[in-house]
């Protein structure tokens, strides 16, 4: 297994940057898909996986809310990455001679201003860093890439414009995954802990309202709530939530007991230390 952490994407991607920021001493291993990144940990080829779960602009990352509950992994940490994109081209090229810009669909959507300013044609690529590699391989000065800063160094490209994202607050939240194990006890975590769980409400009137009521009456803060359909009947909805606290905390324990009355199943996906990013964001709004 060694000291490896898997991620989806190519070298130089934002997921790669998240790995090196959070775990600089681990070997970051790129994977073609989220399923492959999960499998590396499940099979013991990697110790951890770094997986994006939501973005402040684009919302939740597709598929993760389905893959995670069905996996044999659990969340053991979180990491927030400020998303930055540079406009990259071949050495000696210029924006003026370019006609196309290639990147992941989300990156193109988050850098519309510079695309319009230079009248570039956006072309969707499978990966931000992958688009940088393709620009290098094409060796065509009319094609540019929108990619994270790390990609320029890795693929020998020139930074024609830096930090070109439209919104300087653009941030992606990643979760750190490990093989399933006993949840850490309350004493093993700091006071600011986060618990992620999924549940399916019973098909009765006001089920969600009643299910979430226990968190309100016990003073437990829900910081994230996502819903998605299960199966093809469109009758059963599963919810994924993040709450502040540990299952051993009395308010959380009481809220979970109340939740059981209105749900078919509750599955805790992980209890882990809250990132310092949460407290810094909260302080900014005080």
Query: What order of strands is seen across the sheet that includes strand 86-89?
Result: 121-124, 100-103, 143-147, 86-89, 158-161
| Nearest one of 110, 102, 14, 54 to 275, comparing CA atoms | 54
Cα dihedral 5, 2, 267, 234 sign: positive
Alpha-carbon gap, residue 70 to 26, rounded angstroms: 26
Give the list of residues 6+ apart from residue 36 with CB closer than 8 angstroms, or none. 6, 8
Alpha-carbon gap, residue 76 to 178, rounded angstroms: 7
Q: Tokens representing 221?
A: 């803060």
Q: Which of these is catalytic: 128, 172, 196, 263?
A: 172
Report DSSP state, residue 220. P
Q: How far is CA 61 from CA 34, 56, 68, in A?
A: 11, 11, 12
CB-side neighbour CA atoms (13 Å) of 136: 15
Q: Tokens representing 252?
A: 């959380």
Alpha-carbon gap, residue 154 to 11, rounded angstroms: 8
**172: annotated active-site residue:** yes
Sequence-ordered strand ranges (E) for 13-83: 27-31, 48-55, 59-60, 73-82
Burial class (CB in 10 A: 0-12, 13-18, 19+), 210: middle
* 3-class SS of residue 41: helix
Q: Which of these is catalytic: 174, 199, 215, 262?
A: 174
**261: annotated active-site residue:** no
| Nearest one of 89, 95, 85 to 140, comparing CA atoms | 89
Show which residues are catalytic: 172, 174
């Amino acid at each position: 297994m060694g000291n490896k952490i898997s991620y989806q994407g190519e070298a130089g991607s934002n997921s790669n940057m998240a790995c090196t920021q959070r775990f600089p001493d681990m070997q970051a291993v790129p994977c073609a898909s989220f399923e492959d990144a999960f499998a590396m940990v499940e099979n013991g080829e990697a110790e951890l996986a770094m997986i994006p779960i939501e973005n402040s602009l684009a919302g939740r990352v597709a598929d993760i809310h389905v893959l995670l509950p069905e996996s044999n992994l659990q969340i053991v940490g979180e990491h927030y990455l400020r998303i930055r994109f540079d406009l990259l081209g071949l050495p000696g090229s210029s924006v003026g001679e370019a006609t196309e810009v290639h990147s992941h669909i989300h990156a193109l959507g988050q850098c519309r201003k510079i695309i319009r300013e230079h009248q570039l044609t956006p072309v969707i690529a499978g990966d931000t860093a992958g688009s940088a590699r393709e620009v290098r391989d094409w060796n065509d000065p009319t094609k540019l890439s929108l990619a994270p800063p790390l990609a320029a160094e890795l693929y020998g490209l020139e930074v024609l414009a830096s930090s070109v994202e439209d919104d300087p607050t653009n941030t992606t939240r990643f979760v750190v995954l490990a093989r399933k194990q006993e949840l850490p006890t309350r004493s093993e975590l700091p006071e600011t802990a986060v618990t992620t769980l999924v549940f399916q409400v019973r098909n009765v009137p006001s089920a969600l309202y009643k299910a979430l009521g226990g968190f309100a009456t016990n003073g437990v803060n829900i910081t994230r709530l996502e819903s998605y359909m299960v199966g093809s009947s469109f009758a059963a909805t599963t919810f994924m939530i993040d709450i502040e606290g540990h299952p051993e905390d009395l308010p959380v324990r009481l809220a979970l007991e109340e939740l059981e009355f209105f749900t078919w199943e509750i599955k805790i996906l992980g209890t882990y230390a809250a990132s310092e990013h949460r407290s810094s964001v909260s302080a900014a709004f005080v």
